[in-house]
A and B are shown apart, each in its own frame.
Chain A
Amino acid sequence: MVPFKKHILDNGLRLIIHRDETTPMSVLNLLYDVGARDEDPDRTGFAHLFEHLMFEGSVHVPDFDVHLQLAGGENNAFTSNDITNYYMTLPAVNLETALWLESDRMLGLAFSEEKLRIQKNVVTEEYRQSYLNQPYGDTMLLLRPLVYQVHPYQWATIGKNIEQIQTAGLEEVRSFFYRHYRPDNAILSISGPHNEDKVLEMAKKWFGDIPRGVGSLRLLPQEPLQTEQRRLVVERQVPASQIYVVFHTCGRNEQAFYTTDLLNDLLAHGESSRLKERLVKQKRLLSDVNAYLSGSIDTGMFVVTGKLHEETSPEEAEQAVWQELLELASHPVSDHELQKVKNKVEASHEFSESNLLARTMNLAYYELLGDADLLNRQTDAYFSVQGSDIRDMAESMFKKERSTVLYYLKEGSGSG
């Protein structure tokens, strides 16, 4: 159980305060309700590029990092399709420094052509390092536009291509900031040993006067129900072929998400999971197999992926995967197996709660979903899933006409 207090400041900033007297550290987490899905299709990669620029100086603080370092603090940020999240951890005695720095860059950035130019290059190198210079690196760049025909999730956070990033201009940066980086579009979550009233007072002092935004309505085209299978075959210079089978799922905030997550765990979470035990160990068709959810707020992705042994054809591998999926659709899981995945969820939840940063981040994220207290109701939500719920979900999800299949083949393997 993670205790917390919630407040909303006059300018709309949502504030979550979590007291933990057993640690000498404090964490400040600021979540902005803007992600890659909010980008213009001709200006993708922008939310992430913008995240980089948030570290290049604000109106009163030209050098962000040195002050945080002097306070013994560490910080970082990440951008996803849904959110942009900034966090700092530092000795609790210096919490006010974190509030000063974070509030100043919400007040206004020190926009500069030179800094924009440099960070465009840094992001270009990140693009290369993570997506282009790695075997299988471009997988998501290929899969997303297939899985999402309409929704902005069709492009990855890094952007559709390097060119769109390279042509970003300072005026666009400015208007992006004033549109999305406003207190009423943000959630501030603070944890540490301080008394909650003291934290509230400090937060009001530093964030209270920042003017709220004009408010922007998010009207995104929702992804329609898929009615026909989508397939793609590509060849790359990789030492082993890989297949991907992808389905749409409900959004993160729906009750069905918990059933979907347990279904995913049954397939490939842990060495005793179905795909690992049967396709890797017993049948030896694959050298590795994985399943995961994108967990996005709008329609999500359920991804199953496996690396093929030399002698396995992609058709054989795909067939074996479908066999496992369809078995879950036709036979209910045993009580033992269901309890197993529930126990895993309980354990993961406890581990993540033992980490101050994770707790603070999660409080902000669940507040975005509607209520920070959802954090404390997660285990119960999972425990209430029945075996029949899983079977029903598998039956409705695992249909050929609802799937996207990618064969990512080793060059010259002659299959497809």
Chain B
Amino acid sequence: MLDNGLKVYLLEGGNEEIVKIELVFFAGSFYQSAPLVAFSAANLLRTGTANRTSAEINNILDYYGTYFHADAQKDIASFSVFVLQKHLEPVLGLFQEIIREPVFNEDEMGVFLKNQKQQYLINNQRVQYIARTYFNELLFGQHHPYGYRVEADSFDAVSRTDLLQFHRDFYHPLNAFCIVSGKLPANIRDMLRISLGGDHWPAKEKNQPPSYLASSASEKKVMVQRPHVLQSAIRIGRRLFNRTHPDYHRLMITNSLLGGYFGSRLMQNIRQDKGYTYGIGSNLVSLLRDGYFFIGSEVGVDVCQKAIDEVYRELKKLRCIPATESELAAMKAYLSGDYLRSFDGPFAQSQRYKELLAFRLDVSHFEGFLKELKDISAHQIMQTAEKYLHEDSMIELVVGRK
């Protein structure tokens, strides 16, 4: 921990002379008081500080061959920097400057928001984009930050004052954590102390999170017409819980059997047996204050209803008919291998660790999954499906035509 309260985690490993720094703030869209503020703040940090213009910053980052990525999600905003070890020091110096003292130049804002608006208009033509965003609204309600959908006008209404305020409130060391991974130089601790430590970056009080009430749509089956498309996007799912819940591992394994990998029920039936789609899967999404389950796919419009019927058939089968021993064995073996893969190397490990830190879990979370995977029975999977994945409890959204 640095003297200003910033928690830093070091993960040494790898053969190549590269370093990854990931700085994570609890500064996602959940915390904003106006649309697009969190997203804009995160993406505009690099467009200018008190001492440097956007062009100067871009030139320095590019000169050192740096990969810099800002990612603002619903709960967190994370900043990843990948750089060759030999260039780490100058890049760290610039990085802390970008994080601490962005100016949110009006001109830069204008260019950014205009370009984003155009990208939004393009995305809004894709059935899968509409399905993804509208489905979240159906799950959480249009006024809840997890369900709120941006509109074209939102891009014209972002104010610089809001961005500066948001930055002041949420971009400080007690509201963040940092993971540094790769082949670390001997003086990494000093480097981090100098760049991200207290002299430059004083601690502030921890923020009190706002609270919202989520409300799922009462309408269970929703259709958004798009008359000229060749494929419809389907989403079927419901609100559930996140990875801190005691039943999470069990549900995750149940989800895998249903649609978590190529050998799963949904893929084998709807793609490999029926040919209705190029891809279908089911997912559990963990948010900091909630969680949900969904099945998603794009299917030919001529087979849309048939595909949907098959999905419900699979959901019913999941809770009524136990998996065979061989099916269960294949899935467990696959998931074990997949788990191993997800920890291969320092950068993969840093991703896993980030998940723990965001949710305030510890490594026993991973051990818990492996134990559950080993012990879970076909009967327990059925029970889990019965309890949480009953087909009647789902909301269904189709964007396109049937």
Partners in one complex: yes
Contacts of A346 in B (CB 8 A): 65, 84
Decide: A135 and B330 in contact? CB cutoff 8 A: no
Please report which residues of chain B, range 297-314, place their CB below 8 angstroms from some CB of chain A when the two chains form the complex: 298-300
Quick one: closest A residue to B329, CB to CB? Answer: A70
* A121 in contact with B333 given A72-B338, A344-B65 (CB within 8 Å): no
* A350 in contact with B16 given A24-B344, A25-B340 (CB within 8 Å): yes
Can you list, as one digit per residue, whether each of A122-138 has a CB less than 8 Å from chain B (1) or not (0)?
10111011101111000
Q: Please tell me which stretch of A182-190, A256-264, A276-284 contacts chain B, meaning at least 4 of its Cβ atoms lie within 8 angstroms of it.
A: A276-284
Quick one: closest A residue to B272, CB to CB? Answer: A118
Decide: A272 and B119 in contact? CB cutoff 8 A: no
Quick one: closest B residue to A92, CB to CB? Answer: B340
Answer whether residue B320 sits at the interface, using C-beta atoms and an 8 A cutoff.
no
Closest CB in chain B relative to A39 CB, distance in Å: 21
Contacts of B121 in A (CB 8 A): 239-240
Determine the distance from Cα of A271 to Cα of B125 in the docked complex, in whole angstroms. 27
Decide: B114 and A309 in contact? CB cutoff 8 A: yes
Answer whether residue A238 sits at the interface, using C-beta atoms and an 8 A cutoff.
yes
* A280 in contact with B125 given A128-B231, A133-B229, A356-B344 (CB within 8 Å): no
Decide: B58 and A272 in contact? CB cutoff 8 A: yes
Contacts of B278 in A (CB 8 A): 122, 125-126, 129-130
Select one of B125, B230, B333 contacting A69, CB under 8 A. Answer: B333
Closest CB in chain B relative to A113 CB, distance in Å: 13
Contacts of A344 in B (CB 8 A): 62, 65
Select one of A134, A239, A347, A356 contacting B67, CB under 8 A. Answer: A347
Can you list, as one digit per residue, whether each of B11-26 has a CB less than 8 Å from chain A (1) or not (0)?
0001111100000000
* A23 in contact with B344 given A69-B334, A125-B276, A238-B122 (CB within 8 Å): yes
Quick one: closest B residue to A123, CB to CB? Answer: B278
Determine the distance from Cα of A46 to Cα of B126 in the docked complex, in whole angstroms. 28
Decide: A348 and B65 in contact? CB cutoff 8 A: yes
Closest CB in chain A relative to B327 CB, distance in Å: 9
Determine the distance from Cα of A128 to Cα of B17 in the docked complex, in whole angstroms. 42
Answer whether residue A273 sits at the interface, using C-beta atoms and an 8 A cutoff.
yes
* A90 in contact with B271 given A122-B278, A287-B115, A340-B63 (CB within 8 Å): no
Closest CB in chain A relative to B233 CB, distance in Å: 9
Contacts of B59 in A (CB 8 A): 272, 340
Decide: B62 and A340 in contact? CB cutoff 8 A: yes
Answer whether residue A270 sits at the interface, using C-beta atoms and an 8 A cutoff.
yes
Determine the distance from Cα of A130 to Cα of B277 in the docked complex, in whole angstroms. 12
Can you list, as one digit per residue, whether each of B51-90 has a CB less than 8 Å from chain A (1) or not (0)?
0001100110111111100000000000000111001000
Decide: A132 and B230 in contact? CB cutoff 8 A: yes
Answer whether residue B207 sits at the interface, using C-beta atoms and an 8 A cutoff.
no
Contacts of B345 in A (CB 8 A): 23, 354-356
Answer whether residue A384 sits at the interface, using C-beta atoms and an 8 A cutoff.
no
Answer whether residue B5 sits at the interface, using C-beta atoms and an 8 A cutoff.
no
Answer whether residue A65 sits at the interface, using C-beta atoms and an 8 A cutoff.
yes
Decide: B118 and A72 in contact? CB cutoff 8 A: no
Answer whether residue B111 sits at the interface, using C-beta atoms and an 8 A cutoff.
yes
Decide: A73 and B337 in contact? CB cutoff 8 A: yes
Determine the distance from Cα of A281 to Cα of B59 in the docked complex, in whole angstroms. 14
Answer whether residue A149 sits at the interface, using C-beta atoms and an 8 A cutoff.
no
Q: Which of B65, B124, B298, B336 has the most chain A CB atoms inside 10 A of its CB?
A: B65
Determine the distance from Cα of A270 to Cα of B230 in the docked complex, in whole angstroms. 35
Decide: B347 and A135 in contact? CB cutoff 8 A: no
Closest CB in chain A relative to B116 CB, distance in Å: 9
Please report which residues of chain B, range 245-277, place their CB below 8 angstroms from some CB of chain A when the two chains form the complex: 261-263, 271-277
Decide: B333 and A70 in contact? CB cutoff 8 A: yes
Answer whether residue A119 sits at the interface, using C-beta atoms and an 8 A cutoff.
yes
Answer whether residue A71 sits at the interface, using C-beta atoms and an 8 A cutoff.
yes
Contacts of A70 in B (CB 8 A): 329-330, 333-334
Determine the distance from Cα of A129 to Cα of B18 in the docked complex, in whole angstroms. 37
Closest CB in chain A relative to B153 CB, distance in Å: 15
Decide: B330 and A69 in contact? CB cutoff 8 A: yes
Decide: A347 and B230 in contact? CB cutoff 8 A: no
Quick one: closest A residue to B183, CB to CB? Answer: A354
Select one of B55, B83, B263 contacting A277, CB under 8 A. Answer: B55
Please report which residues of chain A, range 310-363, place their CB below 8 angstroms from some CB of chain B when the two chains form the complex: 336, 339-340, 343-348, 350-351, 353-356
Determine the distance from Cα of A225 to Cα of B194 in the docked complex, in whole angstroms. 57
Quick one: closest A residue to B54, CB to CB? Answer: A281
Decide: A354 and B114 in contact? CB cutoff 8 A: no
Contacts of A307 in B (CB 8 A): 118
Q: Which of A120, A121, A129 has the most chain B CB atoms inside 10 A of its CB?
A: A129
Answer whether residue A91 sits at the interface, using C-beta atoms and an 8 A cutoff.
yes
Contacts of A216 in B (CB 8 A): none
Decide: B63 and A347 in contact? CB cutoff 8 A: no
Determine the distance from Cα of A346 to Cα of B84 in the docked complex, in whole angstroms. 9
Contacts of A287 in B (CB 8 A): 114-115, 118-119
Decide: B331 and A69 in contact? CB cutoff 8 A: yes
Determine the distance from Cα of A98 to Cα of B121 in the docked complex, in whole angstroms. 45
Answer whether residue A29 sits at the interface, using C-beta atoms and an 8 A cutoff.
no
Answer whether residue B341 sits at the interface, using C-beta atoms and an 8 A cutoff.
yes
Can you list, as one digit per residue, whether each of A80-119 has a CB less than 8 Å from chain B (1) or not (0)?
0000000001110010000000000000000000000111
Please report which residues of chain B, range 3-38, place their CB below 8 angstroms from some CB of chain A when the two chains form the complex: 14-18
Contacts of B179 in A (CB 8 A): none
Determine the distance from Cα of A126 to Cα of B326 in the docked complex, in whole angstroms. 31
Closest CB in chain A relative to B18 CB, distance in Å: 5
Answer whether residue B127 sits at the interface, using C-beta atoms and an 8 A cutoff.
yes
Quick one: closest A residue to B15, CB to CB? Answer: A22
Determine the distance from Cα of A339 to Cα of B277 in the docked complex, in whole angstroms. 47
Answer whether residue A74 sits at the interface, using C-beta atoms and an 8 A cutoff.
yes
Determine the distance from Cα of A287 to Cα of B118 in the docked complex, in whole angstroms. 7
Can you list, as one digit per residue, whether each of A265-294 has a CB less than 8 Å from chain B (1) or not (0)?
000001111000100110010011000000
Determine the distance from Cα of A323 to Cα of B218 in the docked complex, in whole angstroms. 57
Can you list, as one digit per residue, whether each of A1-32 has a CB less than 8 Å from chain B (1) or not (0)?
00000000000000000001011110000000
Closest CB in chain B relative to A379 CB, distance in Å: 11
Closest CB in chain A relative to B129 CB, distance in Å: 10
Answer whether residue A381 sits at the interface, using C-beta atoms and an 8 A cutoff.
no
Answer whether residue A150 sits at the interface, using C-beta atoms and an 8 A cutoff.
no
Quick one: closest B residue to A136, CB to CB? Answer: B122
Contacts of A309 in B (CB 8 A): 114, 118
Quick one: closest A residue to B115, CB to CB? Answer: A287
A to B CB contacts below 8 Å, 19 in the list: A23-B344, A23-B345, A65-B262, A66-B326, A66-B330, A69-B263, A71-B333, A72-B334, A90-B337, A125-B278, A128-B300, A129-B298, A133-B230, A237-B228, A270-B61, A277-B55, A277-B58, A287-B114, A339-B63
Which B residues are closer than 8 A to A by beta carbons? 14-18, 46, 54-55, 58-59, 61-67, 82-84, 87, 111, 114-115, 118-119, 121-122, 124-127, 228-231, 261-263, 271-279, 298-300, 326, 329-331, 333-334, 336-338, 340-341, 344-345, 347
Which A residues are closer than 8 A to B by beta carbons? 20, 22-25, 65-66, 68-74, 89-91, 94, 117-122, 124-126, 128-130, 132-135, 237-240, 270-273, 277, 280-281, 284, 287-288, 307, 309, 336, 339-340, 343-348, 350-351, 353-356
> Shortest 6 CB-CB distances between A and B: which pairs?
A72-B337, A121-B275, A347-B65, A272-B58, A69-B334, A239-B121
